Amino acid sequence: MDYTELAKTVAALVEGERDTIALMATLACEIHHADDRFDWTGFYRNMGDDVLKIGPYQGGHGCLVIPFSRGVCGAAARTGAVQLVDDVEAFPGHIACAASTRSEIVLPVRGGRGELLGVLDIDSNQPAAFNQEDAKGLQAILDATFGVVEG
């Protein structure tokens, strides 16, 4: 995966945009179609009260609501740390939104003031599909895109 090229494409598409939902929709589409490993790509938005709600995504249906206390997405929101999960069945409290999911990466999404806007969730139907290179490349794209959003 060439994250440098993806970052350039995303930057060109979102230049000047400040609306969080528009940014999430554009990134979900571009990231999802950039790599065959990505089976489901989307955002869960921070709604306050330690609850995430589904945002723009690509792929089959996702879970509508995820508490910070459950699953891989909840762990990323709760801890503020990237979650790299090689085998979702081995993750305590995993929420099975799709039976085909074998591995997952979830990254916190922060706005310009450091506030948690939500998380980016990418599922794969392949085990151990994600690595630190993915985490680094995706985090750079998220930081560049959402670092301009305030609130």
CA nearest 60: which of 26, 6, 96, 35?
96
d(CA 12, CA 10): 5
CATH ID of 3-146, from 3.40.50.10540, 1.10.3470.10, 3.40.630.10, 3.30.450.40: 3.30.450.40
Query: What is the token pair recorded at 42?
Result: 């989307």
Block residue for tokens 């290179």: 133
Q: Which helix (H) or strand (E) holds 28?
A: helix 20-32
Q: Which helix (H) or strand (E) holds 41?
A: strand 40-46
Task: Please give the chain's pLDDT, 151 residues, in tens.
Answer: 999 999 999 999 999 999 999 999 999 999 999 999 999 999 999 999 999 999 999 999 889 999 999 999 999 999 999 999 999 888 777 677 767 788 999 999 999 999 999 999 999 999 999 999 999 999 999 999 999 787 5
Phi then psi for residue 3, to 5 deg, are: -70, -25
pLDDT at 80: 96
Q: Is 89 in contact with 83 (CB distance < 8 Å)?
A: no
pLDDT at 151: 58
CA nearest 58: which of 103, 126, 120, 13?
120
Domain ranges for the chain: 3-146
Q: What share of the chain is helix, strand, coil (3-state, %, to 5)?
A: 35, 25, 40
